[in-house]
Amino acid sequence: MSSDLPSRPSLEHLKKEAKERLRELQKRDPNAKLADAQHEIARAYGFLNWAQLKERVTAIERSLPSPAPMTTRTDSVFARFTERAKRATFFSRFEAGQLGHPSIDPEHLLLGVLRARLGLTSRMLAGAGLSPDHIRSDVQARRETLEPLPNSVIIAFGPDTKRAIQLAVAEADRLRHDDIGTAHLLLGLMQGSTLAADILRTSGLSLDAVRRDLDDLLNEGGL
């Protein structure tokens, strides 16, 4: 039931995710309540309600040892990530695990970015036919798919993904943006000779086009 959860789920992260989801819901329905957003988040992770999700995550958190501290450099980078960008990395781990891949590669991060942006209707992304289902099918056709990995398995970022994140940071710095969002991650993923970059180019996107339309992406419901 909870296969959608990462190996180290965070209740605090889920609470922030629910608040972010509430803001999106209230754009369509001003009367939407936090409970509505929590219910949607719970269902997205395969639970009947928020209480079940909360109980499960709390139990997992109590059973896990404290994580090793991150390096100062990595910590400073992820501290700049918006909630949506953090959600993208959260989803990328799940995508890699479901495909049986031992590391989080650029194509998994691309899937995470698209999942984190669900509900946002960027003309550029929609025109390119980019959706999690479309990209996932493409990845499965071009990479061997193995048995899903257990949640207990630690799946780290691969070297190409670390490079894509570094490029995303460079894009944000070039634009003098304090925050690093999914639009910056998309720019980072478009560079290099990776499967994710090839998928994006094959979809008709170019680095210049994404940079040109960056304001639309950034203004579309946040980063």
Tell me the one-letter amino acid at 95. E
Average pLDDT of the segment spanning 111-137 = 75
Q: Would you say residue 26 has pLDDT above 60? A: yes
pLDDT band for position 97 (50/70/90)?
A: very high
Q: In this predicted model, what pLDDT tens digit does every residue of 138-197 receive, in sequence order?
A: 899 999 988 999 888 889 999 999 999 999 999 889 888 888 988 899 999 999 899 999
Give how many domains the chain has, as a whole number: 2
Question: Of 67, 100, 121, which one is at a domain's C-terminal end?
Answer: 67
Q: Which residues of 5-36 are buried (b: 16+ CB within 10 A; e: fewer)?
A: bbbbbeeebbeebbebbbebbeeeeeebeeeb
Residues 74 and 63 in one domain: no
User: 55 lies in which domain range?
Assistant: 1-67
Q: Please give the Cα distance from 29 to 163 (Å, whole number).
A: 40
Give the sign of the dihedral formed by CA 151, CA 153, CA 155, CA 156.
positive
Cα separations (Å) of 198 from 176, 195, 204?
A: 28, 5, 10
Q: Please give the Cα distance from 9 to 2 (Å, whole number).
A: 11
Residues 145 and 38 in one domain: no
Residues 183 and 194 in one domain: yes
Question: In the prediction, which pLDDT does 124 show?
Answer: 64
The pTM of the whole model exceeds 0.85: no
DSSP 188-202: HHTSSSSHHHHHHHH
Residues 74 and 164 in one domain: yes
Residues 24 and 79 in one domain: no
Question: In the prediction, which pLDDT does 174 show?
Answer: 86
134-136-137 Cα angle (round to 5): 65
How does the average pLDDT of the chain come out, rounded? 82
Q: What are phi and psi of 206, to 5 degrees?
A: -130, 155
Q: H helices of the chain, where?
A: 11-28, 34-44, 50-63, 72-79, 83-98, 106-116, 123-127, 132-142, 159-174, 182-189, 195-202, 207-212, 214-219
Residues 47 and 111 in one domain: no
pLDDT band for position 89 (50/70/90)?
A: very high
- DSSP summary character for residue 26: H
User: Is the distance from CB of 129 to CB of 82 less than 8 angstroms?
Assistant: no
